[in-house]
């Protein structure tokens, strides 16, 4: 099974070919339209080996009797007309610009005090704040939220019994923001971090 979640958003890297292209009869390819159209659409897709079509059709029939027909019809029209691909190219370009603004703002405001991870794919980055203990994440997030900044801790993503960096880390999304909001948010974050050193 190959899950291509966020596959539309690869930045500065050449995407590898899907496993499905190497063995179409032995790989189930899973995708979604939630990141390119809307998470409320609730439509995804499978590319399955021919030999599994009957089994998957029956499983779908038994588990999902109320798929949204209107949305599927509209999506089908978007796909066949080429409008979906044009839309994806447009939002990919816009999100790449937003990502670049975020990376530049972090570099300008925090310099070597921040290490950014995960910037090559997706619609968010992880920012590790050097010199700030992981235990300070909660207080920093509370201050950021009070200032209107959406910031999320990395701590819940770690297995509590395993190791994690001792440095505070934050998940920072950028897809729903314009360039000025990103710059303003990073400036506010830099001020908050200075207060929590």
Q: Which two three-digit tokens encode residue 114?
A: 């921040």
Return the pLDDT at 51: 92
Which class does domain 93-195 fall in? alpha beta
Return the pLDDT at 75: 93
The residue extents of the domains of the chain are 2-81, 93-195
How would you write the chain as a 3-class SS string? Answer: CEECCCCCCECCCCCCCCHHHHCCCCCCEEEECCCCCCCCCCCEEEECCHHHHHHHHHHHHHHCCCCCHHHHHHHHHHHHHCHHHHHHHHHHHHHHHHHHHHHHHHHHHHHHHEEEECCCECCEEEEEEEEEEHHHHHHHHHHHHHCCCCCEECHHHCCCCCCCCCEEEEEEECCCCCHHHHHHHHHHHHHHHHHCC
Return the pLDDT at 27: 85
Burial class (CB in 10 A: 0-12, 13-18, 19+), 44: exposed
pLDDT along the chain (197 residues), means of 10: 61 65 78 84 87 91 81 93 94 91 97 88 89 94 95 88 89 92 96 92
């Amino acid at each position: 099974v190959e899950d291509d979640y966020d596959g539309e958003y690869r930045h500065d890297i050449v995407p590898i070919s899907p496993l499905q292209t190497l063995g179409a009869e032995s790989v189930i390819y899973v995708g979604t339209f939630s990141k390119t159209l809307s998470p409320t659409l609730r439509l995804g897709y499978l590319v399955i080996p021919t030999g599994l079509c009957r089994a998957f059709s029956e499983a779908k029939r038994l588990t999902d009797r109320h798929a949204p027909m209107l949305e599927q019809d509209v999506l089908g029209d978007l796909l066949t007309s080429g409008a979906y691909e044009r839309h994806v190219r447009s939002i990919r370009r816009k999100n790449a610009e937003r990502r670049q603004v975020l990376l530049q703002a972090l570099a300008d405001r925090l310099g070597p005090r921040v290490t950014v991870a995960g910037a090559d794919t997706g619609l968010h980055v992880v920012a590790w704040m050097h010199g700030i203990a992981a235990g300070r994440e909660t207080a920093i997030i509370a201050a950021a939220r009070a200032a209107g900044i959406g910031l999320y801790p990395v701590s819940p993503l770690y297995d509590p019994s395993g190791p994690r960096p001792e440095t505070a880390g934050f998940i920072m999304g950028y897809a729903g923001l314009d360039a000025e909001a990103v710059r303003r948010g990073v400036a506010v974050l830099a001020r908050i971090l200075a207060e929590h050193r």
